[in-house]
Amino acid sequence: MKFSSLAARVLIALSLAITASAQTPKAAPKPPPIPREPFRLWAGDAPGALGAEAKDIPMLDPYFANPAKATGAAFIICPGGGYAALAPHEGRDIAMWLNEHGIAGFVLKSRLAPAYHHPAPMQDLTRGVRTIRARAAEWGLDPKRVGAFGISGGGHLASCVLTRFDAGDANAADPIERAGSRPDLGVLCYPAVSMGPNGHGGSRKNLLGDKPSDELIKFLSNELHVTKDTPPCFLFHTGEDTAVKLENSLDFAAALRRAGVPFALHIYPKGRHGIGLGTAQWDPEARHPWTTQCALWLKEQGWAK
């Protein structure tokens, strides 16, 4: 797993070098100032940090698109795992798939249960969006094309930030805090959206603990918080999903419609929960049809070439 991610990076680095040398045969090219390793979201402790171990440090793992293909758009990716784990095939694989379409992917390593509950994950994602936006120019990205991509439990997290964001604090000392946290697009794959009766029990327990108040459940049932300012969304779900009920996507789509927010919604009868791009192992030959529909949508939005 580490190896394939390393291999992907080496490949990207190689192709960068080749592209660069082809363009400027004279001088040795300066490597672009982009991060190649996971980096911390806060230089110091994250707000509410319980310690300084790996589990206490939210990070972004960057996957930049090949410059020859890059469109300048980026997604922050929230992998599934019910707020207690982060599934690689719903993180790194998504980033590599986005790279194929010229889009940069940043896999969010958010803080998890059992140590962390709400609002830590939401703080991490919010900070992640601000970070990419604040440093977009430096990294060759477009600050107006920074999206949130969430899967399963990560879909709940993404839908939190698709419905709750701010313009940033112009007076903040930290330049990252000055950037807005509104994602410009949302992609939700078999997302847990609700914390109500149709919600995913595991995600609810991990995010809110054993006995959350009705107010908190309502507050984090994101189908109740869609407004006209929620960005356009792409939703994918399967009818057979026995872990996260299809109602989560249907209800979110209905809320988007009521708010006048355009969306793409693709529901397939078959397919198990956690299907990712089609397989748990990276296999570009065995992609689920939702991926072609998503690529078309990203093109239509001007994010993919």
Partner 1 sequence: MKLNVLAAFSLLAVFSATSFAQQKAASKTAAPPREAFPLWPNGAPGALGTADKDIPTLTPYFASAAKATGAAVVICPGGGYGGLAPHEGSHYAMFLNEQGITGFVLKYRLGSGGYHHPAMMNDVNRAIRYVRANAEKWKLDPQRIGVMGSSAGGHLASTAITHFDAGDANASDPIDKVSSRPDLGILCYPVITMGELTHSGSKKNLLGENPDPKLVELLSNEKQVTKDTPPTFIFHTFADAGVKVENALMFAGALRKNGVPFSLHIYPNGPHGIGLGGAQWNPEARHPWTTQLAVWLKELGFAK
**Residues 110-149 interacting with partner 1 (rule: CB under 8 A):** none
3-state secondary structure at position 286 = helix
Residue closer to partner 1 (CB basis): 97 or 234 = 234
Q: Which stretch binds partner 1 (CB under 8 A): 12-20, 84-92, 189-197, 292-300?
A: 292-300
**Residues 208-247 interacting with partner 1 (rule: CB under 8 A):** 232, 239, 246-247
Q: Which stretch binds partner 1 (CB under 8 A): 35-43, 67-75, 140-148, 258-266?
A: 258-266
Count of residues of this chain found to bind partner 1 when the rule CB under 8 A is applied: 23
> Distance (Å, rounded) from C-alpha 159 to C-alpha 211?
22
Assigned token pair, 126: 């919010």
Closest distance of CB 76 from partner 1, Å: 22
Evaluate whether 120 touches 167 at the Cβ level (below 8 Å): no
Evaluate whether 198 touches 184 at the Cβ level (below 8 Å): no
Out of 57, 95, 264, 298, which residue is the one contacting partner 1 (CB under 8 A)? 264
Out of 266, 278, 298, 304, which residue is the one contacting partner 1 (CB under 8 A)? 266
Closest distance of CB 264 from partner 1, Å: 6
Evaluate whether 231 touches 202 at the Cβ level (below 8 Å): no
Close Cβ partners of 260 (under 8 Å, ≥ 6 residues apart): 228
Residue closer to partner 1 (CB basis): 21 or 292 = 292
Out of 59, 146, 253, 275, which residue is the one contacting partner 1 (CB under 8 A)? 253
Q: Looking at the chain, how many residues does it have?
A: 305
Assigned token pair, 187: 């992609």
Assigned token pair, 99: 């790279």
Q: Which stretch binds partner 1 (CB under 8 A): 104-112, 114-122, 208-216, 287-295?
A: 287-295
- By CB under 8 A, residue 283 contacts partner 1: no
3-state secondary structure at position 76 = strand
Residue 129 Cα distances to 76, 178, 184, 293, angstroms? 7, 12, 10, 25
Chain contacts with partner 1 (rule: CB under 8 A): 232, 239, 246-247, 250, 253-254, 257, 262-270, 289, 292-293, 296-297, 300
